[in-house]
Structure 1
Amino acid sequence: MAKKYIREVICTYDVRRAFIYESYANGTNRKDSDIDVAIVLNTEDDILDVQVQLFQLRSDRELLIEPHPFRTSDFNESNPVASEILRTGIELTDQVVARSAYQGK
């Protein structure tokens, strides 16, 4: 589900990296857990506006996905949230980009 969503985001935004993090990355998710997805974008747009747009890209089956956008310039080890995501998250970008290219998307 998250990979499909990331493919959709890649078609709309200049995505540099994407990660699943928190409960789905560390194996503590439950049936009703949200799916935290960090999306690193090459943008200077207002990040809250981008987050609203990312929420709107979700389909009815993807309502548990909670997108968390970051600008490329803000996603580094000095940012505590980004540092934790880099340390414990599962990167999806390479898998999703390769599959999207293969499928012609």
Structure 2
Amino acid sequence: MVGAIDESLELSEAVLKEILDLYKDIRELSDEEILSCSSDRPEKLFMKLDSLITRDLESDLVFILLNKQELKPIFAHLNLFRNLYTVRLETGYAKEILASQSP
């Protein structure tokens, strides 16, 4: 039992560190950079976020992290980044369709 608790705490701390590290990198980007930056940095951050979001975690751990009040602004910022990057992707696909021979 103690081993499971220790493992859960370690996983919780590791996931929290991942969230905070990703937030630190994302908050450095302006909305304009997310939407139209020519570097691959936004894409790499989006892939890291996507990987984190789709990770299979215990529901208790997810519940604890999602209900931490101090993380709510961080999750809001991560959500904004995800939404803006999705707009970027959809805009790029729309431009490709419009530029094709038969849109």
Give the TM-score of the pair, scaled to structure 2: 0.31
Give the TM-score of the pair, scaled to structure 1: 0.31
Larger radius of gyration: 2
Structure with the largest fraction of strand? 1
